[in-house]
Homo-oligomer: A and B are copies of this chain.
Amino acid sequence: MPLRSQAVLEPRKSPVQARSAATVDAILEAAIQVLLQVGKERLTTTNVARRAGVSVGTLYQYFPNKSAMLKAVLERHMDEVTEAIERVCGEQRGNGLEQMASALMTAFLGAKMRDAKASVALYAVSADIDGAKIVQERGMKSNRAVVAMLKTAEAPLTTDPQLVAAMLQGVMTGVSRRLLESTAPEKEFEPMLRELIFLACTYLNACTVRPVAV
């Protein structure tokens, strides 16, 4: 989204295109803040607009309805996590399985913890709207990345990479969710991550040894 070119002697900022882009951004940001401060129940469109410094009408200029706005918020958050996964999966190509496991778990938990509060709040939002669909889409994206990575491992797996990747993701999300919704996420983070890596390494190694059958 490049800024519109400015007339000869007009140093004025943020013209047409950019103005609205900024507004959309402000709204999305405000939505998360409102969510964190007053919770899903009291998150109203009027509320979000006010926090964003605009009027409700403006909000409805960019989103057809409340649900669409929340979807955008969720998508934004999921993209961050997905990108984090894709990044490490790219970096880890050709490495050993333990390397991969460690990097993947660290990246995932890290991304989730980065703004743990928002993550938890969004779990709730995801239930309204068809959040499951969004989550699933991103899930498939990261799945592909994980599978691709696994196929380049030094020691080849003797198990269907698709299945292995699915398990890894189930494990990651399950443990991270448990962690995030626990009473003291920060405190348990370190040991949980360690253990998660241990578990993943153990599993992956076992998958190189195991007979091919089934």
A residues in contact (CB < 8 Å) with B: 40, 123-128, 132, 136, 139, 163, 166-167, 169-179, 181-182, 191-192, 194-196, 198-199, 202-203, 206, 210, 214
Could you tell me if A173 and B167 are in contact, using CB atoms closer than 8 angstroms?
Answer: no
A171 / chain B contacts, CB cutoff of 8 Å: 170-171, 174-175, 199
Contact of A175 among B139, B170, B206 (CB under 8 A): B170
A40 / chain B contacts, CB cutoff of 8 Å: 127
Chain B residue, CB-CB nearest to A126? B127
Q: Copies per complex?
A: 2
Q: Given A203-B199, A206-B198, A206-B202, answer yes or no on A170-B163 (Cβ-Cβ < 8 Å).
A: no
Task: Determine the main DSSP class of A at the interface with B.
Answer: helix
Could you tell me if A167 and B199 are in contact, using CB atoms closer than 8 angstroms?
Answer: yes
In the complex, how many angstroms separate the beta carbon of A213 from the nearest chain B beta carbon?
A: 11
Chain B residue, CB-CB nearest to A123? B127
Could you tell me if A163 and B191 are in contact, using CB atoms closer than 8 angstroms?
Answer: yes
- Please name 29 pairs of A and B residues whose Cβ atoms are closer than 8 Å in the assembled complex, sorted by A: A123-B127, A124-B127, A124-B128, A125-B127, A126-B127, A127-B127, A128-B128, A136-B181, A139-B178, A163-B191, A163-B195, A167-B199, A169-B174, A170-B171, A170-B174, A170-B176, A170-B177, A171-B175, A172-B174, A173-B177, A174-B174, A174-B175, A174-B177, A191-B214, A194-B214, A198-B210, A199-B203, A202-B206, A203-B203
Across chains A and B, which 9 residue pairs bring their CB atoms closest together, nearest first? A174-B174, A127-B127, A170-B175, A124-B127, A170-B174, A170-B178, A202-B206, A173-B174, A199-B203
In the complex, how many angstroms separate the beta carbon of A63 from the nearest chain B beta carbon?
A: 19
Chain B residue, CB-CB nearest to A188? B166
CA distance A123 to B128 in the complex (A): 11
